[in-house]
Amino acid sequence: SMYPPAMDREDVPEVAIVGGGIIGLTLALGLNKRGINAKVYEQARSLREIGAGVAFTANAVRCMEQIDPRLVTALRSVATSNGDPNNPNDHLQWVDGFNVDPEHPEDEELLYKLYAGPRGFEGCHRAHFLDALLKVVPEGVLQFGKRLANVVEQDEEEKVKLEFEDGTVAEADAVIGCDGIKSRVRELMFGSENPVSHPTYTHKIAYRGLIPMDKAVEAVGESKAKNQHMHLGPQAHLLHFPVANQKLMNVVAFAPDPEEWEDSKTFVAPATRRDVEKVFAGWGTTVRSIVSLLPNDLDKWAVFDSSTFPVPCYNKGRICIAGDAAHAAAPHHGAGAGIGVEDALCLSALLDKAASVIQDDKASKSQALKLAFITFNTIRRKRTQWLVQSSHDVCEIYEWNHPKTGSDPDKCFEEIRRRSHKIWYFDYEDMVRESSESFEWRVVI
């Protein structure tokens, strides 16, 4: 790391990260790399990711490289790009999974195709990625079984206090909530009566499952099985991409749900393959073959997001929120984690700056940390809230329901391209530069 060991330095800020999901751990590594003392408090007794895939854009992987190259090593040890690893096909493809020629019901018309850049869409098994991440998180950084109940911000000169449900407490100079869509930190910032404290139901269900790749190849052919495809149709769509070094096909099927989701404690419920078969009953052979390979028992996810009640800001004093806690997007761009990685890069850079300002006695610890969080909010809010809205809109576009694009394929493609490129070609170097400049300017005045 760039500084002497943080532990024995009075002037090095101590940061408490609430939540050990992808973003909390990514941020912890970024801070650790910059000599900042970070601790992660995770409610679970151990970290167990779900049996589903997650994919990162090339840009998100480049952000990881800036945060801490150990992240890229961890990801690459478990990730899979499209197709043959020696000849990756880095296109994302949208096909018509519904309107098929009765003579050739296995053929799907290619609707749109976008080049995502070299290794532009790296899929991995979430549990494998998490295991790889845990191996590089330094000893003592992550504490399990710590469910945050309350945060008390005391006087300027004193540390912020974290109270956990097991009755224990911890202290830090600043608190960053990376505690996901049901964030407790967000609720503490805005109050439980405030609608921004709670995500809302998008009335979409996501069925998720993994299929052995050899079975998938047998059913739909090598090229379709081993490359990412989004199969579109009325009111529903099905996405798949390879994970686990091409050994598994990750499948996510989206279906509408007119009902309310009653259980606010969990957004996951058991489902069966039969449920998915019903949704895609009238579709082409390819989609139905993929569905037929799903396990009998699977999980369904109620898709919630923060598009209806976005938070007005991401910071309050020495407390801030990042990742899904700040901006929970529906998964239709496949970019929620990626944009949270951008947050982690921004915060790593800003807290690095704050640490040097503190060291040089240009500001007190609490002033510097507050200014870092004010800057984070200013720099990140617009783009991340755009993603939340666009993730909602793009689902309507995929399902030919968006008022601007309707069922016009050219208009749909134009919108999909514009939105995808805005995600993929984000200038993160500029973000880091702007963050630093903006922070320095705030410290001076």
Contacting positions for ligand FAD (CB under 6 A):
18-24, 41-44, 54-55, 146-148, 178-181, 184, 206, 208, 252, 301, 323-325, 331, 334-338, 340
Shortest distance, CB of residue 53 to ligand FAD, whole angstroms? 7
Which of 120, 334 has the CB closer to ligand FAD?
334
User: Any residues with CB less than 8 A from the CB of 341 and at least 6 apart, and which?
Assistant: 22, 23, 26, 56, 60, 63, 64, 67
Question: What is the spatial distance between Cα 362 and Cα 31, in angstroms, rounded to a whole number?
Answer: 21
Sign of CA dihedral 191, 195, 199, 201: positive
435: region left, alpha or beta (phi > 0 left; psi from -120 to 50 alpha) = alpha
Which of 344, 368 has the CB closer to ligand FAD?
344
Shortest distance, CB of residue 34 to ligand FAD, whole angstroms? 20
Question: What is the spatial distance between Cα 42 and Cα 48, in angstroms, rounded to a whole number?
Answer: 11
Shortest distance, CB of residue 215 to ligand FAD, whole angstroms? 22
Which of 100, 230 has the CB closer to ligand FAD?
230
Shortest distance, CB of residue 402 to ligand FAD, whole angstroms? 20
**At 396, which amino acid appears?**
E
Shortest distance, CB of residue 138 to ligand FAD, whole angstroms? 18
**Positions marked active-site:** 208
Q: Structure tokens of 155? A: 């006087």
Which of 98, 164 has the CB closer to ligand FAD?
164
Q: Enumerate the β-bridge partners of residue 243.
A: 248
Q: Structure tokens of 11? A: 């002037």
Shortest distance, CB of residue 227 to ligand FAD, whole angstroms? 15
Q: Structure tokens of 397? A: 């576009």
Contact indicator for 71, 26 with CB cutoff of 8 Å = yes
Which of 183, 286 has the CB closer to ligand FAD?
183
Which secondary structure element, helix H or strand E, spans residue 336, and what is its range?
A: helix 336-359
Q: Where are the beta strands (DSSP E) in 213-361?
A: 229-233, 236-243, 248-256, 268-272, 297-305, 315-316, 319-321
Residue nearest to ligand FAD (CB): 21
Q: Let me know how many helices (H) and strands (E) the chain has, helices first.
A: 13, 19
Provide the b/e sequence for 39-58 (b: ≥16 CB within 10 Å): bbbbbeeebebebbbbbbbb
Tokens 């006695």 locate to 361
Tokens 């139905």 locate to 288
Which secondary structure element, helix H or strand E, spans residue 429, and what is its range?
A: helix 428-444
Which of 348, 366 has the CB closer to ligand FAD?
348
